[in-house]
Amino acid sequence: MRRNYEGLPAKNFTISSLTLKGLCVMRRLVVGITGASGVVYGTRMVEALLASGHEVHLVVSEPAVVVATHELGWDFQAGVVETCRREIAGGDTGTLRVYENHEIWAPPASGSFPVGGMVVIPCSMSTLSGIAHGSSNNLIERAADVMLKEKRLLVLVPRETPLNVIHLRNMLSLAEMGVSIVPAMPGFYHQPRTVDDMVSFVVGKVMDILALENRLFKRYEGGA
Ligand SMILES: Cc1cc2nc3c(=O)[nH]c(=O)nc-3n(C[C@H](O)[C@H](O)[C@H](O)COP(=O)(O)O)c2cc1C
């Protein structure tokens, strides 16, 4: 064995197949889109992750379909999976897998399915509560439960206003468990001109938490 000057095993800088496997796992993420207002945050998130070379396992709740129809004018006649594949990333969906929330048998439901982390965006108060209480009643809640038990990265982007004490308590208990709570609260210091700019700001903040380089918003550089 090679040793360094302290007599400790020398660091191996060659990329082993295990390291490569680890890198691939980090490149695989789960995204949940729930029925909170702002489904566009979720679709932009998936697009940003696909554009940065990730394999995305997207889970869409039934209420999210209702909200997407209302807010984005999506026509789900072709089915949830087909519609999401068509509408997201302009059909360039080579590394996108889409599941409905009742598909509790899907890979993200298992801790033995290696993933780098999970983002629920937008996250309804209902799903937030389910995750906080370990309900695992559907695929999004179960996948989030897996993140918690496997000590993996979990980011929730709640959208509701005003917040009641139950919402706030649930968010606190999740934060205490190490979950990142990134409310859909766009800033204004980057001087957004369009709704798109405001959406990109929130998605950019999530990308920052995932430690993914992005230029989704203009960063503050000081000034009066
Ligand atoms: C148009 C529309 C907008 C909604 N917006 C929100 C919202 O911003 N936040 C929220 O917590 N629930 C919102 N809801 C209610 C959720 O859809 C509802 O609680 C649902 O049960 C959430 O289920 P899910 O978490 O499985 O998607 C909205 C519902 C509709 C129809």
Structure tokens at 162: 């005003």
Render pLDDT for 30-51 as a digit per residue (tens, 0 to 9). 999 999 999 999 999 999 999 9
Work out the mean pLDDT of the chain and round it to a whole number.
90
Structural domain boundaries of the chain? 26-184
Confidence bin at 29 (pLDDT 50/70/90)? very high
**Residue (of 125, 156, 149, 151) closest to 63 by Cα position:** 125
| Protein residues whose CB sits closer than 6 Å to any atom of ligand 1 | 34-37, 61, 63-64, 66-67, 70, 124-127, 159-160
CA distance 200 to 186: 9
**Residue (of 186, 208, 206) closest to 195 by Cα position:** 186
| Residue to mutate (ligand 1; options 101, 126, 129, 131; most atoms within 8 A of CB) | 126
Render pLDDT for 136-188 as a digit per residue (tens, 0 to 9). 999 999 999 999 999 999 999 999 999 999 999 999 999 999 999 999 999 99
Atom of ligand 1 nearest to the CA of 130: 25
Domain boundaries 26-184, corresponding CATH code: 3.40.50.1950
CA distance 170 to 174: 6
> For the whole model, what pTM was predicted?
0.90
CA distance 131 to 127: 6
Q: Is the pLDDT of residue 5 over 50?
A: no
Confidence bin at 15 (pLDDT 50/70/90)? low
**Percentage of residues of the chain with pLDDT beyond 70:** 87
